[in-house]
Every structure is written in C-alpha cells, then in structure tokens.
Amino acid sequence: MAKMKRKEAGRRPSRPAKAARRTKGAAKAKVAARAARRAAPARPARPVRRAQAARPTRPAGAAEALRRAAAATEPAGETAPGKMVEIYVMGKRYEVPEGLTIQKALEYAGMKLLRGCGCRGGFCGACGTVFRKEGDYKLRVALACQTVVEQGMHLAQIPFYPAHKKNYNVDELPPTLEAIVQNYPETMKCLQCNTCRKVCPQDIEVMQYMAAAMRGDVAKAADLSFDCIMCGLCASRCPGETVQYHVGLLCRRLYSRHIAPRAKHLERRLKELAAGKFDKEMAELVRIDLAELKKRYDSRDIEPEDADEPEEDSSGEVND
C-alpha cells in the first residue's frame, strides 16, 4: 500500500528513523492497516462546518441504499458501529468508517501522513487539501482534519502551497501601502472576486482585508486577518494570483510593530525594575520560609494602590 508523502522540497528534512520505516516491506504495512481497522472504534461524527453538513450527497449503489435504510431507523447524529462509506483516494476506492475526517480516512486507508498533518484541530493550517463530492462538479478546498468524509467523496493528497514569502525587516518598513506594494506588488491584481473568502476555513473576510491592503489601510487589514491560520487555500484559488495570507501576515506584523500602542505601563515597570525599585522586596521574599511565603501570598493585595500606578494613557499613541 502506498504511503503518502508531502510532494515538495524545502521543509525540514525527514529524520533517518522515519526514512528507514518508509522502506519497510508492503506486507508489514498490510498487517498494520488491518490491525488499525480492527482497532478503530466507532466514533460519533466530528463537528462539521455547518456549510458542509447542510449539503446532502447523492446516494449510489446497493451498499449505500442499505446504509441509508439502516440510518433511517436510528436517531439523527448517532452512528452505529461498522457503518462504512466508500471514498476514492487518488482515484482508488476504499471503504472507511462513516464520520472520519479526510485526514483520519486517509490514515485509515493505510496512508501515512508525513507532511500536511499538524494539530489535527483546525488551527495550524497544515492540512489544506482538495476534494470533490459525489456527483458534484465543484472542486473544493478545505482543511483535511476538519472535513468529514461523505459517501462517494473523491480525495487527493495534501499539498503545500509554496507561496513566495518575501524577506523583509519589519523594523525598516513603513506601516503603509508602500510596504505592501513593494513586497507583494501582485496584490494590485486582485479582482475583488471573493473566491478567497469563500474557501477560507476560518470564515475570514479575505477580500475585505485585501481591499483594505490595497487602500493602504494596514490596521484594518491586520484586524480583519487576525484569525488567519496560514493554510494557503485562499492563494490556491485566486484568479488574480495574489498571496492573500502573506499580505495579511505582513499587515499584522506592521501593525504590531508600528501602529499598535506600546504598553507604556510595561515600559515604566521595566525601568523601575532596572532601577532596583523591587530589589529589596525580592531579596526578602527569596529569604523567607515556605509557610511565611504562603501566608503573605494569601493575604496579598489584589488591587494595588492607585498612588503607585502611572496615569492611564488612553490616547493610544503610536510608539516614538
């Protein structure tokens, strides 16, 4: 059985132990797969993105008819152990338990995901993949760990989109359009078609932050792109060939470095520490015994005196 590998170069080189394991015989792989199938417990359906849950799949074949008849007698949301669905991976048919995510389904089918597999929780952005639903013409992209397989789904590998991340020193860049256009000039090819927003697994308003970037509104672009997990699916479908997620990253970095108000109270506190304001107290705390420490901790003042606090800087001024 074929093992899955990430198809590009440039990431961390694979460790020798893994490489050795990869070359082990097919027989061992078959045994392992069989064991995995036996060991895999029936699991309830993973929480699905509402959009995908709403779309019904078209049934095909006797197996499916049987499955649906069985489902009709069960309350919605529960899965009887042993219910299988047919999926196609790189064109080859497999049967996997219903309710698995694409990622789990690939592994169940015997593929070992060496790349394109990360947190498995929809937050690291490693597993962006392409698939198609049964009977449907649309090629869809989504995160493999968040998308539940459906009957007749066609899966592929989990690629990495090698978008060009420009080298820049955020300290030296102005927080304006200039920084964006000099590093990612293709941003100006954006057609405002909204394809990016439609494929974003985080429901980010990608087109809106690209529009903000084109206007030079770095702060807005940073704000709107905050939840980005850098999966690259937006860039994968962009007809204008822009790299939305890198533009968002640049805007967030520019915002943090140049626009976000500095924590003045932190700066002040650091100065106080350097000046030795708390040295005496610290020395004493280190010296006293555990019982005394606990006593002091329990009786500490949670809301410190205002007299010692610096004035509230509410203007949010830019750092000097």
Partner 1 sequence: MEIGYFPGCTLKTKATGLDDSVKDTARVLGHELIEIPDWTCCGATFSLAADNVMALAAPVRILANARKVGDKVVTVCAGCYNVLKRANYAVRHDEEKLKKITDFIEAEYVGDVTVLHYLEFLKNEVGFDAIAKLVKRNLGELKVVPYYGCQMLRPHKELMFDDPEAPMMMDELLRAIGCNVLEFPHKVECCGAFLTVCTDPSARAGSAAGSGAAEAGSEAGVEDVARGAVSECSFTILDAAVRRGADMVVLTCPLCQFNLDSAQEEIQKQRSNFKKIPIVYFTQLLALALGLDGSKYALDAKHHYVDPSEVLKAKVTA
Partner 2 sequence: MTSSTRVKISRTSVRSEFVKRVNEISGENILACYQCGRCSAGCPLTFAMKDLPNQVIRMVQLGLEEDALASKTIWVCASCLTCHARCPRGVDLSKVMEALRAIKLRPGTGDRLRLEKMSKETLARLPQQALVSGLRKLTG
**Between 211 and 230, whose beta carbon lies closer to partner 2?**
211
- The least CB distance from residue 37 to partner 2, in Å, is 46
Binding of residue 181 to partner 2 (CB under 8 A): yes
Binders in 160-179 for partner 2, by CB under 8 A = 177-178
Cα(116)–Cα(110) distance, integer angstroms = 16
CB atoms within 10 A of CB 116: 21
Q: With binding defined as CB under 8 A, does residue 217 bind partner 2? A: no
Q: Which is nearer to partner 1, 160 or 209 (CB)?
A: 209
Q: Are strands 84-89 and 153-155 parallel, antiparallel or unpaired?
A: parallel
What's the min distance (Å) between Cβ of 182 and partner 2?
5
Distances (CA, A) of 310 to 169, 259, 268, 269, 305: 33, 22, 8, 10, 11
Q: How far is the CB of 141 from partner 1 (least distance, A)?
A: 18
C-alpha to C-alpha distance for 252 and 263, rounded to whole angstroms? 17
Q: Give yes or no for residue 220 binding partner 1 (CB under 8 A).
A: no
Q: Between residues 88 and 168, which has the closer beta carbon with respect to partner 2?
A: 168
Cα separation, 77 vs 46, in Å, equals: 10
CB 104 within 8 A of CB 129: no
Question: Which secondary-structure segment (H or E) carries 29?
Answer: helix 26-39
Binding segment for partner 1 (CB under 8 A), chosen from 127-135, 191-199, 250-258, 268-276, is 191-199
Residue 182 makes contact with partner 2 by CB under 8 A: yes
Of 211, 219, 249, 260, the residue at the interface with partner 1 (CB under 8 A) is: 211
CA distance 142 to 151: 17
Q: How far is the CB of 170 from partner 1 (least distance, A)?
A: 20
d(Cα 10, Cα 314) in Å, to the nearest integer?
46
Question: Between residues 151 and 242, which has the closer beta carbon with respect to partner 2?
Answer: 242
Contacts to partner 1 by CB under 8 A: 176-177, 190-194, 207-208, 210-211, 214-217, 239
Contacts to partner 2 by CB under 8 A: 177-178, 181-182, 185-186, 188-189, 214-215
